[in-house]
Amino acid sequence: MPAWFLLLEPEPLPAAENMARDETLFHLCHEKKCGFLRLYAWEKPTFSIGVSQKVERALDLEFIRRNGCEFVRRLTGGKAVLHNVEITYAVASSEDLFFKEHDLHQSYMLISRVLVQAIRSLGVDATLSKGSAVELSHSHNPCFSFPTPHEIEVQGKKLVGSAQKRDKEALLQHGSIPLAMDYDLYAGGANFAAEMLQKSMTTWGDISPCGPDELKDVLVRGFRDFVGADLVQIAFSPEDLARVAELREKYSSDAWNLAH
């Protein structure tokens, strides 16, 4: 049986649906040794926050609602992200290549290296960040306001923001690759300065003439080469979608999104 699977979502999806689908893949990896690469987009501009963030510090909910955006708390860590015009990736796996002699930081670095090599294959000089001062990483600043170790930069600006959830059996890592950015919207929803975001981050549209389909293709090829196997393209089964529906209720609820 194939061990690695590819899910290419044909249409943008609501925030709660996207997070429910990622968590479902994480649970499936607990049931057998397997891995998934999922590429997707968002139906509305959405602010996501890390699982341990305090929403009242990380986001301006009044601004977000007034501007017709969604917000959701992720299962993973990290800081506030605006998902708008972007490619979002998710990797869920229980395969040994992420667990044998590797901890969270090492597996995070492995995935980041795959992303860097894929991006570089399109002629973009991407590198792995060496990170910022500890006080920045412990702040309430948004994700793209500073580079953390092993994230992807281009010319000193952050291009990809990622976060991981991991236990002893499986991991889920997902991340945002902005194709373009509304800096005023991101700044307003994340309690930050637009000009500071413009100094700290970049977008795919700013650095490459290649389109999103080309970027998706090299991401798929990069992960295929990394795992040494074909990624069998699938869709969620009816049984999986029933799990998704249960988790969608969680990610739609104030009990989850406004916790902490």
Q: What is the number of other CB atoms lying within 10 angstroms of the CB of residue 91?
A: 27
Of 34, 69, 143, 210, the catalytic one is 143
Residue whose pair of structure tokens reads 């139906």 in the numeric block: 43
Asked about 143 being catalytic, the answer comes back as yes
Contacts of 53 (CB under 8 A, 6+ apart): 73, 79, 80, 140, 260
- Extract long-range pairs of 128-133: CB within 8 Å, 24+ residues apart: 128/152, 128/153, 129/153, 129/158
What DSSP designation does 41 have?
Answer: -
Residues found in the chain: 260
The 81-83 sheet, strands edge to edge: 70-73, 46-49, 81-83
The distance from CA 211 to its chain's CA centroid, rounded to whole angstroms, is 19
Question: Is 14:70 a contact under the CB 8 Å cutoff?
Answer: yes
Distances in Å between the Cα of 202 and the Cα atoms of 67, 150, 158, 184 are 23, 16, 6, 14
Question: What is the rounded CA–CA span in Å between residue 88 and residue 83?
Answer: 8
Q: Which residues are marked as active site? A: 143
